[in-house]
Structure 1
Amino acid sequence: MDDSPIFNLPDDTLHQIFSTLPLRQIVISRSVCKFFHQILTSPSFLQLISTHPPLNLIALRPPRHRHPLRHALPPSFLDVFDPDHNQWLRFSLDFLPFRSPHPFASSLGLVYLWGDSPDSSESNKSLVVCNPLTRQFRVLPQLGSAWSRHGSVLVDSANRVMVLTELAALYFSGTSNHWLKFSSNLPSKPRSPILVSDSVYALCDVGSPWRSQWKLFSCYLTKLTTSQTWTRLERHEWGDVFDILKRPRLVRGVGNRILMVGGLKSSFSLNSPCSTILILRLDLDTLEWDEAGRMPVEMFKCFQESSKFKVFGGGDRVCFSAKRIGKLALWDRCAGKGEWRWIEGMPGNGDGLYRGFMYEGRFTGLP
């Protein structure tokens, strides 16, 4: 390629040519040669394509190891699935100066992860925000390692981050450079908490040691640092909506909606088996529930033998995994109609509970 006329073109001309490509083709073109990589990662080009439609991807979280090897660690990657092209992709995280980076969430092209400090022989977790496409990163103010072990981390499009446990919570805004700490005062450990607009939502078990009873709690972000007031959301019209699901989880939906996902009980008995997996949708404006999706019986047969399954996703896509299945079940409503299909070719050994999050690939700058 050294004799190619393309090397004689001005950078501005090359930027205009490549800016006509979809974001997916731009990402692929960067790996063609060092010259393309330099042109397609320059600040001026990234600014030019900043309004391109994002890549709507499903990212997998790497499995946790209790005692990871400190030497000869394998290269770190973010494995993602493109449901629109039915293809797996891999983004390198080798630009991060951390051991065993563990991505767990994303918002508007930015990926949030825990990473071990390379300067310490002990586990010293740092909370990091990065963009795998621009290979930029920023370390958030230091937290104790206990927060990484016991806290649920929530992020949203306003560069807000929350680490939430049953007893306490930390809140960080992109406009500040420190964490706000306060008591959470929840009745039990929050399950699958999510941030939607200016509120936090979480499921809490208010039942007994012998029988779970799940309820939905919410709190305004503006009140968390003052009154710590959590409100139990319930209406008489809801009836037994929380009793028909086994091990419910919350997933952020489209707009001002949240999804509640769980196994549909065949009866109200204590150890009732499930007949399928149900997706319910709550409109936060009207506080009305409706059924968004129901897993087909043939697909659910693969989950019947598993004692538990994992749920992750967001918007109009929700993924399900269980041990010994070796693939993901995907509910996809992006085309306006809920469709169910399998995602094959899972990275790794294909035997385990996969966890993940939705990732919008963008050339977003760091806050």
Structure 2
Amino acid sequence: METSPIYLLPQDTLHQIFSGLPLRQIMVCRSVCKLFHQILTSSCFIDLIATRPPLPLLALRPPHHHHHRHQHLHLSSPQGIRVFDPDQDQWLRFTLDFLPFRSPHPVASSLGLVYLWADSPNSPEPNKSLVVCNPLTRQFRVLPQLGSAWSRHGSVLVDSANRVMVLTELAALYFSGTNQWLKFSSNLPSKPRSPILVSDSVYALCDVGSPWRSQWKLFSCTIANLKNSHTWTRLERHEWGDVFDILKRPRLVRGSGNRILMIGGLKSSFSLNASCSTILILRLDLDTLEWDEAGRMPLEMFKCFQESSKFKVFGGGQRVCFSAKRVGKLAMWDRCSTNVGK
């Protein structure tokens, strides 16, 4: 193998050859041999491809081991993240071995960047840092240090490399590229569910019901008002009717353009423990404040999720994925495809 003519080519020549490949082929070539991996992960080659637009990949969050007895298994296993390429209908795997941290746990992604909570390698005690990395270019940045309570109770919201928010019921931290977090009161009526950043505003679902019956409402606040400790606005219209009452365990996902998606199980009735007939995707146009139905899961597909009391939703834009325990499969709503579900 070492006598192959490719070993005689100058490194600059190899960089130019591989830089002409699509990003997907570059990722595949990294796993061919040690030479290709060394060439395609070098800083010189990374600089050549760093300006390319990100791929529309959907990342899977790996299992999070909370118990100490599982920690050695998590640390000794190869660090990596699995992503699905919906355009090619195939799975890819990025290694995270370039991160000098223990127990990296992805929590958000945007524009080709992945945000992770990770333990400092030099600290004997768990000391979480929020890290942003590009798995393709293998570059990373550590955001200013936060207390461990934020990693346990805060929801991480992102929409670009310089706009990050960690939101809880009582407080919010905002990072916009400076060397420090801005902290201000959030004063939400309850713990926010699936908050999202859209343009210059934050949207979240909050439960304003009683201990025995949930009642979800949509709240919003601009970043400027949040900095000034202004109260959140409850978004509601008489024309919306019972839009929040027909869904079980609703959650928000950012849609395409100036739209948000609300996803949940479609209740078969308004009784307290009503079963669900399918999973429904509703879409809110933030310009007109009008809801419409974006899609619903086919009944044959929903049978796989029917026995799971909880399911996870991730993605955004024109594609949303669904997963649940004991299902063993992913379902995807794909607005870009002629097939509504996969």
Q: TM-score, normalised by structure 2?
A: 0.92
- The alignment partner of 1:61 has SS state of coil
Q: Who is 2:341 aligned against?
A: 340
Query: How far is 1:54 from its partner?
Result: 3.0
Where does residue 29 of structure 2 map in the other structure?
29
Give the distance between the partners of 1:28 and 1:137, measured in 2 at CA: 21
Task: Tell me, in whole angstroms, the C-alpha distance in 2 between the residues paired with 1:34 and 1:65.
Answer: 31
Matched, 1:261 2:263: yes
Question: Is it true that 1:209 corresponds to 2:211 in the alignment?
Answer: yes
What do residues 94-146 of structure 1 show as CA deviations (whole Å, max 9, x unaligned)? 22222111011111221110111222332211111112222222211111111
What SS does structure 2 have at the residue aligned with 1:181? strand
Match of 2:154 in 1: 151
1:23 and 1:53 in contact (8 A); partners too: no
Q: Match of 1:239?
A: 241
What CA deviation, in whole Å up to 9, does each residue of 1:239-272 have, x standing for no partner?
1111111110000111111100001112222222
Q: Normalization by structure 1: what TM-score? A: 0.86
Conserved 8 A contact 2:61-2:105 = yes
In the TM superposition, what is the alpha-carbon distance from 1:186 to its structure 2 partner?
A: 0.5
Matched residue SS, 1:303: coil
Partner of 2:104: 101
1:157-236 matched pairs, under 5 angstroms = 157-174=160-177, 176-236=178-238
Write the deviation string for residues 6-37 of structure 1: whole angstroms up to 9, x where unpaired. Answer: 44545554444323311100122233344433
Q: Which has the higher contact order (CA 8 A, sep 6+)?
A: 1
- CA separation in 1, counterparts of 2:48 and 2:150? 39
Does structure 1 residue 84 correspond to structure 2 residue 81?
Answer: no
Gaps of 5+ in 2: none
Task: Provide the identity percentage.
Answer: 82
Offset at 1:213? 1.1
Correspondences of 1:48-127 after superposition (within 5 Å): 48-68=48-68, 69-71=70-72, 73-127=76-130
Alpha-carbon displacement from aligned partner over 1:270-292 (angstroms, at most 9, x marks no partner): 22221111000111111111111
**How far, CA to CA, are the matches of 2:247 and 2:203 in structure 1?**
18
Amino acid at match of 1:75: P
The letter of the residue matching 1:213 is Q
Cα displacement (A) at 1:49: 3.0
- Cα deviations by residue, 1:171-205 (Å, 9 ceiling, x for unpaired): 1111x010111110101100000011111100011
Distance in structure 2 (CA, Å) of the matches to 1:290 and 1:52: 35
Question: Does the Cα contact within 8 Å between 1:152 and 1:193 map onto a contact in 2?
Answer: yes
* SS class of match (2:195): strand
- Per the alignment, residue 276 of structure 1 pairs with 278
Assess if the C-alpha contact under 8 Å between 1:153 and 1:164 holds in 2: yes
Q: Using a 3 Å threshold, how does the CA distance of structure 1 residues 229 and 304 change in structure 2: closer, same or farther?
A: same
**Using a 3 Å threshold, how does the CA distance of structure 1 residues 204 and 90 change in structure 2: closer, same or farther?**
same
One-letter identity of the residue aligned with 1:66: H
| 1:168 CA drift (Å) | 0.8
AA of the residue aligned to 2:57: L
Contact 2:185 2:229 in 1 (8 A): no
- Cα 1:261–1:12 change in 2 (3 A) is same
Instruction: Quote how far apart the aligned CAs of 1:338 are.
Output: 5.5
CA distance, structure 2, for counterparts of residue 96 and residue 220 of structure 1: 34
Query: What is the aligned counterpart of 1:138 among 125, 137, 141?
Result: 141
Matched, 1:289 2:282: no
Q: Give the secondary-structure state (helix, strand or coil) at the position aligned to 2:60.
A: strand
Give the number of aligned pairs: 339
| Residues 39-48 or 111-120, more deviating | 39-48
